[in-house]
Structure 1
Amino acid sequence: MGHFTRWTRKPYGAFASLGKVVKIGVLSLTMSIVTHSPKSVAAQPDSLEVARVVELEALNVTAERLNPTRGVTTPTEVYSRDTLSVAPLQTIESVLRINPAVDLRERGAKGMQADISVRGGTYDQTLILLNGIDFTDARTGHQSHSLPVDLDIIGEIDFITGLTGIGAFSGALNFITTPLRPNYLRAELSGGAYGYLYSNISGAFTRNGLSVLAAGSIRRSDGYTHNTDFFNSNLYSRITYQSASVGLIDAQVGYQWRDFGANSFYSTAFPDQFEHTETQLASIRWSRNIGMFTLNANVSYRKNFDRYELYRAGKGAPDGWTPNYHTTDNAGAEISVDYRWRWGTSSIGADYKYNHLYSNVLGELMAAPIPVPGADAVYTREKGRHIINGWLSHRMRLGSTSLAGSFNLSHSEYGTFPSGSLAVSQQLLEGWDVEADLTRSMRLPTYTDLYYTTATHIGNPNLKAEQATTYQLGTHYRYGRFQIGASGFFRQGSNMIDWRLVETPEGQKWQSTQLTRLNTYGVELLATYRGRRILRHVTLSYGWLNSNKDTHDITKYALDFMNHKVALQCGVNIWRGLSAEVTASWYDRKDTADTIYKPYWLLDARLSWTQGAFTFYVEATNLCNTVYYDFVGVIQPPRWISGGVVMTL
C-alpha cells in the first residue's frame, strides 16, 4: 500500500484564495496543508510516528481558477505537467496542437515558426501571456509565440476567454512557469534523426520566501528537407519573493535567439528563404494585501528583432535586394486595487501600453534613416501608438451561484471603445456546474495589416479596429477520477481584417481589407480519466468549428480554419519505472476557395524508464510517416525518432 507523497501542483487550489485544486489520494493519519505560489513547497516529515496507513478514495476540493487578466471568466486548463510531463510532447507547440480549442499551424519543425489561433480566430487575434503578463507582438502574430521558455519549466497552460477591451479578440493563452520542486537541478540531453540535438539545464532554489527558477537550452537540426535547418537558444529566469511586510514580488527575464531555413514558408515560389529573430522580455509584478484591500502593479517590456531574407544569404538575389529588418518594442504598465467585502470582490484598474516599430518595409517614412544595429542597412520607416484601458469589475457568490461582471473603456488613435463582460456559473449537483458568459471585445490592426506592401501584397493604413460579441455556454462534471466537459460558443465579428485577392494592373494581389460581418461558432468536448496504477490517464477530446462571411470574394484567413479535430492521449505504467505514452490525433481543415486540405492522422509515442535520478527515453513523432501540410506548399516533418536522458537531482 502506498503513502502520500506530495500535493498535486495544479493551477487550481485547495482554497479559492490560492486558486488551486488539491487532489488527495493516499493519506497518512498526519498531514499538512501546502500552499502554492510561483514555487512549490517541500513536504515536511511527520513529527508523530504513523501507526497505520489508511487508503482513501480520491477527493477533489475545487475552487475557481484565478484569472490573471481584467476578464471575469474562469480559465480552462490546456496543459498540466502533472498529467502530461512524460508524453511525447517536445515543444510548447506540440502541446497546443492537440487541444480542441487551439489551431496550431507550423512552418517547419519543433515550433521554429508557428501560428497560434484559438476558436476560429486568426493568429493576430490571440493574446499571448507569460505568467499573466501580455507579451503579444504588435507587428505580427507570427512572432507572438516566440517565448524564451521550454516545456520542462511550464507547469500549466490556461485558455482564457471573456477578455474585454483591446487585446484578446478570440481568446488568450497563459503560459505559467513553475519549478519541478523547491530545490532541484535538472539536465537533459537528446538527439535523433535529421541531425537533431537538444540540450537543456534548469533548476530552482527556495529559501525564506525567496524562489529562483532558471533555465537554458539549445535546440538544432540539419532539417528534414531542403532549407529546413534551425538553431534555437533560450535563456529564462523567474524570481519571486513573498513576505507579510513586502507582499509578493514576481520578476521574470528571458532571451531567445532563433535561426531557421524557411523553405517556401511565406511564398512557395521561393524555396531558399531564411529568418533570424531575437526576443528579449522582462517584467516585474507586485501584489500586497492590506486589510480588505489587495494592491497590484506590474511593468513589462518586450523587444523583438526580425531579419527576413527572401534569398538566403543573398544567393540568387537581384541587384539592389536587401533583407527585411524589423524591431518591435512593446512596453506596458498596469495598476489595480481589489476590495473584498460582504457582497464579493470589487476591482478597479488601468493599464497603459506603448507599441513602436522600426522597419525598412513597414510603417511611415522617417525624416532621417537610422542604422540597423549589427547590419549594413538602415531603418527608413517607423510607427508608434499608445493604448489605455480602464476597467471596473465585480465578483460575488450567492449560494451555489457565482456572478461576475466587468466594464472596460479603451482609448487609442482608433478612438474610445466601451466593452464589457458578464458571466454566471451555477452548481447544479455536487461536481456538476454550468456556466455562461457574454463578452464584447476588440483588436487593433497589426503593423503588417496596415503597411505590408510588396509585389504580391497591398497594405491598408486606413483599417479600423475589429470588434466582436461572443456568447459562450459550458458545462463540467467531475466524479472521482473522471471528468467530462462540453462548451459551445458563437462570435459575431465586425470590421474583420483579412487579405482579399484583388485584380490590379500588375496582376492579382492580396490586399488588406475589412469584412463587414464574420460569424464563427463551434463546440469543444473533453473526457478525462486519471488513474494511479497501471493506467495513468486517458483523455479524449473533440473540436468542431464553422464560420461564414458576408462576401464571396477569395480571402486568405476568414474561412481557413480547423473544421474537425480529434485527439486521444493515453499513459500507462508498465513495470518498475517503465512507462509508455501514446497520442493519436485526427485533423480535418476547412477547404478554401483555392485550397483543398486532405484530412490526416498523426501518431506519436514515447517509451521511458526511470531509475533513481535518471530517466531514459525514446520517442517518435509522426510514427506512421503521414504526409501532411499545415500551409499549402510547406510539407511537415515525416517520422522523427529521437532519444535522450534526463537527470534530476
Structure 2
Amino acid sequence: KAYYHGVYTSDDIDVNWQFGFSDQQYGANTFYSAKYNNQYEKTRRYITSVQAQTKGWFVLTPTLYWNRSHDNFQLIKDSPKGENFHMTDVYGANLNAHFTTVLGKTAFGAEVRNEGILSTNLGKLLEEDQKVKVPGEKDKYFDKKDNRTNVSYYLEHNILLQNFTASFGVMANMNTALDHKYRFYPGIDLSYRPSIHWKAFVSWNKALRMPTFTDLYYKSPTQEGNIGLKPEETQAYTLGLQYQNNVIKTELSGFYHKGKQMIDWVMYDAEDVYHSANFKLDNRGFETNTVINTEAWLGKSSWIKQIQVGYSYISQKRKDNTPIYKSNYALNYLKHKFVANLRHKLFTEKLTLNWAFRWQDRMGDYIDFGNTNHPEGILTSYPSFALLDLKVQWTESKYTIFAEANNLLDRTYFDLGNIPQPGFWFKTGIKCKFYL
C-alpha cells in the first residue's frame, strides 16, 4: 500500500490532494459461499482526489475524484471454475457551499458521479469487436459492460437557538439507470433542551440506495443476480430523550425504519442458489445507553472510575408471503445486544483495568458445512453467546504499557455463519510519546 497527501494553504483558500494505491492477494474463504472453502481474491486499487475550500463568510468547497479498482475472484484457487475479472471506474465532481446569517446556517451543493464497469461476469454483453483485453492476463477479455451516472442536488438549513435546534434538508436525485426522473428525499432533525440537563430529539429522513452491479448481474454456481432489481427506499423515524450531568449521561431512543424494495440475497428452498431479490421490510426497536463517571461522583480516590451499560432491541417484519428458506443479509439481525464496561484502578492511579462484557442474540440461520455426514450443509440457527474481555494499562506521562486478553472464557461463536471468531487471544504493547 502507498498513500500521499498534499496540502496548500493561504489566506484565501486551502487545497488538499491525495493519491493512493493498494495491491492485495488473499484467501477469501466463505466470501461468496461457505460451500467452497478455497476461494481466492486479488485486488488492485488506485484513488486520487483534489479538494479546495475558500475562506470567509461564504465558503465554497469544490472536489474532483477518480477511483479505479481491478478485481480477480477465484471460486477455487488456481481454477477457472467460477473465476471473474472486473475493472471499475468511479469518478465525479461536487461543489458544496455554506454560509451563516442571523437566520442560521445554510448549505447547498451538487454532485455528478459516474460508475462504470468492465467485467467477465457483470454487465450487458458486448459485441465481439467491443471486447477489451484484461490487463495482465493472456487470452482473457472483458465481454460485459455497464455504466450509470448519478446527479444530485441538496439544500439544507440549520437553526441554532439557545434551547432549540432544527435542521431541514432535501435532496433531488436522478440516476440514468432508472428513468432519468428526479426523486426527492427530505429530512428533518429537531432537538429541544428544556434545561442544561435534558434534551429531547426527533428525526425523519428518506433515502435511496441503488443496487450494485453485483446485485444486478452476478452469476456463479452459488449465486444469481436479478437485472430487474429496484432501488431500496427507506424512511427512518427516531424519537429520543437524553439526560446528562457531571456524573451520569443516559439516553433512550426508539426507531422505526420503513423499508421498501429492500435488497437481499435469498434461497427459496434447500436446493436453491442465492437470488438477489426485493421485498418490503420494517425494523423497529429501541436502544439505551448509560455512562456513570464515578470519579466525579465519589472523588478522585474512588476505586471504580467509570461504569457503562447499554442495551438494544430490534423487531423485524417482512411484508410479503413468499416463503424464504435462507436470507444472507437483511433477515439476519441482532434482536438483542447487551454491553457493560467497568473501569477501575488497582493499587495506584497509574494501573487501571477495563472489563468489557457483551451478550448478543442474532436472528436468522446459516448453512453449516462443517458436518461431514451432511456435505450439502445443515440449516442452523445462530446461538446466543457472551464474551468477556480485559485490558490492563499502566500509564506514565511519556509512555503507556498495556495488555489485552480478549474472549477470556474461550467461547466458540459466529458473527457470520461458518466463520468462527477467535477464541482466547492475548496481546501486549507499549505506546510512547515523543516531542520534537
**What TM-score, normalized by structure 1, do the two folds share?**
0.58
**Equivalence for 1:277:** 43
CA positional deviation for 1:388: 0.6
**Per-residue CA shift, 1:535-560, capped at 9, x if unaligned?**
44432221111211122421513321
1:625 aligns with 2:415: no
Secondary structure (helix, strand or coil) at the match of 2:81 reads coil
Describe the shift of the 1:303–1:573 C-alpha distance in structure 2 as closer, same or farther (beyond 3 A).
farther
1:371 aligns with 2:133: yes
State whether residues 265 and 634 of structure 1, in contact with CA within 8 Å, keep that contact through their aligned partners in structure 2.
no
State whether residues 115 and 149 of structure 2, in contact with CA within 8 Å, keep that contact through their aligned partners in structure 1.
yes
* 2: CA distance, partners of 1:525 / 1:589: 18
CA positional deviation for 1:346: 2.2
Secondary structure (helix, strand or coil) at the match of 2:214 reads helix
Describe the shift of the 1:384–1:519 C-alpha distance in structure 2 as closer, same or farther (beyond 3 A).
same
1:590 aligns with 2:363: yes
Describe the shift of the 1:625–1:279 C-alpha distance in structure 2 as closer, same or farther (beyond 3 A).
farther
Bigger CA radius of gyration:
2
CA positional deviation for 1:592: 4.4
* 1: CA distance, partners of 2:249 / 2:17: 35
CA positional deviation for 1:485: 1.3
**Per-residue CA shift, 1:278-299, capped at 9, x if unaligned?**
34333333222334x2222222
* 1: CA distance, partners of 2:358 / 2:251: 19
CA positional deviation for 1:427: 0.6
Which amino acid is 1:540 matched to? V
* 2: CA distance, partners of 1:286 / 1:436: 34
* 1: CA distance, partners of 2:99 / 2:397: 48
* 2: CA distance, partners of 1:405 / 1:612: 46
Share of identical aligned residues, percent?
Answer: 25
Residue of structure 2 aligned with 1:409, choices 160, 172, 175: 172
Describe the shift of the 1:450–1:487 C-alpha distance in structure 2 as closer, same or farther (beyond 3 A).
same
Secondary structure (helix, strand or coil) at the match of 1:508 reads coil
* 1: CA distance, partners of 2:309 / 2:421: 24
1:547 aligns with 2:316: yes
* 2: CA distance, partners of 1:410 / 1:530: 45
Secondary structure (helix, strand or coil) at the match of 1:294 reads strand
- Listed as ranges, the matches of 1:219-238 within 5 Å are 234-236=1-3, 238=5
* 2: CA distance, partners of 1:452 / 1:305: 16
State whether residues 486 and 526 of structure 1, in contact with CA within 8 Å, keep that contact through their aligned partners in structure 2.
yes
CA positional deviation for 1:474: 1.8
Which amino acid is 1:565 matched to? K
* 2: CA distance, partners of 1:535 / 1:300: 49
**Equivalence for 2:12:** 245
RMSD, matched Cα: 2.6
Which amino acid is 1:472 matched to? T
- Listed as ranges, the matches of 1:490-509 within 5 Å are 490-502=256-268, 508-509=272-273
**Equivalence for 1:148:** none
**Equivalence for 2:108:** 348
Residue of structure 2 aligned with 1:512, choices 272, 276, 280: 276
- Listed as ranges, the matches of 1:317-336 within 5 Å are 317=79, 320-321=80-81, 323-336=83-96
CA positional deviation for 1:259: 3.5
Describe the shift of the 1:550–1:323 C-alpha distance in structure 2 as closer, same or farther (beyond 3 A).
same
1:444 aligns with 2:225: no
Describe the shift of the 1:347–1:265 C-alpha distance in structure 2 as closer, same or farther (beyond 3 A).
closer
* 2: CA distance, partners of 1:536 / 1:278: 46
**Equivalence for 2:433:** 648
Describe the shift of the 1:499–1:605 C-alpha distance in structure 2 as closer, same or farther (beyond 3 A).
same
CA positional deviation for 1:466: 1.3
State whether residues 450 and 459 of structure 1, in contact with CA within 8 Å, keep that contact through their aligned partners in structure 2.
yes
Secondary structure (helix, strand or coil) at the match of 2:216 reads helix
Describe the shift of the 1:435–1:598 C-alpha distance in structure 2 as closer, same or farther (beyond 3 A).
same
Secondary structure (helix, strand or coil) at the match of 2:273 reads strand
Residue of structure 2 aligned with 1:559, choices 319, 328, 331: 331
State whether residues 74 and 81 of structure 2, in contact with CA within 8 Å, keep that contact through their aligned partners in structure 1.
no
Aligned length: 406
Could you list the runs of 5+ residues in structure 2 that have no partner in the other structure? Answer: 367-378
* 2: CA distance, partners of 1:237 / 1:616: 31
CA positional deviation for 1:631: 2.1
State whether residues 549 and 558 of structure 1, in contact with CA within 8 Å, keep that contact through their aligned partners in structure 2.
no
**Equivalence for 2:72:** 307
As a proportion of its length, which structure holds more strand?
2
Describe the shift of the 1:408–1:529 C-alpha distance in structure 2 as closer, same or farther (beyond 3 A).
same
Residue of structure 2 aligned with 1:454, choices 209, 215, 220: 220
* 2: CA distance, partners of 1:424 / 1:366: 51
Describe the shift of the 1:582–1:500 C-alpha distance in structure 2 as closer, same or farther (beyond 3 A).
same
Residue of structure 1 aligned with 2:394, choices 598, 609, 614: 609
**Per-residue CA shift, 1:77-97, capped at 9, x if unaligned?**
xxxxxxxxxxxxxxxxxxxxx
State whether residues 421 and 439 of structure 1, in contact with CA within 8 Å, keep that contact through their aligned partners in structure 2.
yes
**Per-residue CA shift, 1:326-355, capped at 9, x if unaligned?**
232222321122232221122221111111
Secondary structure (helix, strand or coil) at the match of 1:277 reads strand
Describe the shift of the 1:572–1:250 C-alpha distance in structure 2 as closer, same or farther (beyond 3 A).
farther
Which amino acid is 2:316 matched to? S
Ranked by relative contact order (alpha carbons within 8 Å, sequence separation 6 or more), the top structure is 1
**Equivalence for 2:98:** 338
- Listed as ranges, the matches of 1:154-303 within 5 Å are 234-236=1-3, 238-240=5-7, 242-246=9-13, 248-291=14-57, 293-303=58-68
CA positional deviation for 1:600: 0.5
**Per-residue CA shift, 1:559-617, capped at 9, x if unaligned?**
21111111223334443643333221111101349541100012222223345544333
* 1: CA distance, partners of 2:45 / 2:230: 28
Which amino acid is 1:380 matched to? D
Which amino acid is 2:97 matched to? V
Describe the shift of the 1:602–1:513 C-alpha distance in structure 2 as closer, same or farther (beyond 3 A).
same
* 1: CA distance, partners of 2:427 / 2:137: 37
Describe the shift of the 1:301–1:573 C-alpha distance in structure 2 as closer, same or farther (beyond 3 A).
farther
CA positional deviation for 1:520: 1.0
Describe the shift of the 1:576–1:548 C-alpha distance in structure 2 as closer, same or farther (beyond 3 A).
closer
State whether residues 192 and 201 of structure 2, in contact with CA within 8 Å, keep that contact through their aligned partners in structure 1.
yes
CA positional deviation for 1:519: 0.9
* 2: CA distance, partners of 1:375 / 1:570: 55
State whether residues 30 and 36 of structure 2, in contact with CA within 8 Å, keep that contact through their aligned partners in structure 1.
yes
Secondary structure (helix, strand or coil) at the match of 1:387 reads strand
Describe the shift of the 1:441–1:245 C-alpha distance in structure 2 as closer, same or farther (beyond 3 A).
same
**What TM-score, normalized by structure 2, do the two folds share?**
0.85
Describe the shift of the 1:322–1:600 C-alpha distance in structure 2 as closer, same or farther (beyond 3 A).
closer
State whether residues 34 and 418 of structure 2, in contact with CA within 8 Å, keep that contact through their aligned partners in structure 1.
yes
- Bigger drift between 459-468 and 260-269 goes to 260-269
Describe the shift of the 1:242–1:489 C-alpha distance in structure 2 as closer, same or farther (beyond 3 A).
farther
